[in-house]
Amino acid sequence: MPDLDSIWARPRAKRWLNFAYVYAAHLLHLLLDVSPWFVRNAAWRLLLGGCGKGVFFDHRVYVKFPWLVSIGDDVSINRGVEFYCSLRERSRIRIGSNVRIAPNVRFHAAGHDPDHPDLADNGADIVVEDGAWIGAGSLVLQGVRIGRGAVVAAGSVVTRDIPPNCIAGGVPAKVLRERRTDHASS
C-alpha cells in the first residue's frame, strides 16, 4: 500500500480517494440519521477520537474525520452541526465539557493556503473550552480557541480566539462584553 505522501503528490489519486471516503461517510451519516438517539450516540462514541459521558448528538450531525474530533462530558450537539478536520495536516477539533452547540454550527479546522499556487491543504486545531456556548449558525475557523464559559452569538464567524467568560458576536466575531455570571440560582 502506498504511503499518504505519495498519494498527496498525485492530485488525481488524492481526488479519487477523497471521493470514495466521502461516499462511504455519506452512507454512514444517512444510516445514523435514521437511527434512534441511543444507536446514534453509541456509534459516535465508537467513531470519535474521544467522547465523554452524557453527550447528545441530534440528527444530521456531520463529522468528516471522526477520529480527529474529541468531545468532553455533558455536551449537547444540535441538529445540522458539522465538523471538518484536515487529514493532511492532522488538525483536530477538541470540545470541552458542558459545552452547548446550537443548530447548524460549523467547525472548519481545515482549509487551503490562498498563497500557494495549488491552494495546498492547511489546517490548525480548534479548541472549545469547558462551559462555552456556540450560537446557531456560527462558523468557527481553523486555529481558534474559544475560552472557558465564552458565548458566541448566533451567526458569528469566529476567526480569532475568544477570551474566557466573554460574549462575542459579528462577522468577524469581536468581544462584545464580559458575561455577568453573578446570578443567584433559582
**CA 158 → CA 14, 17, 26, 161, 170, distances in Å?**
30, 31, 27, 8, 8
Angle at 77 (CA atoms; ends 140, 84), nearest 5 degrees: 40
Whether 112 is catalytic: yes
- What helix, strand, coil percent values describe the chain, rounded to 5? 25, 30, 50
Catalytic residue among 108, 112, 116, 183: 112
Which positions ≥6 away from 114 have C-beta within 8 Å? none
* Angle ∠(174,62,5) on CA atoms, nearest 5: 90
Q: Identify the CA nearest to 51 among candidates 78, 74, 83, 31.
A: 74
What does the block give as the cell for 82? 458539522
d(CA 94, CA 72): 8
Catalytic residue set: 112
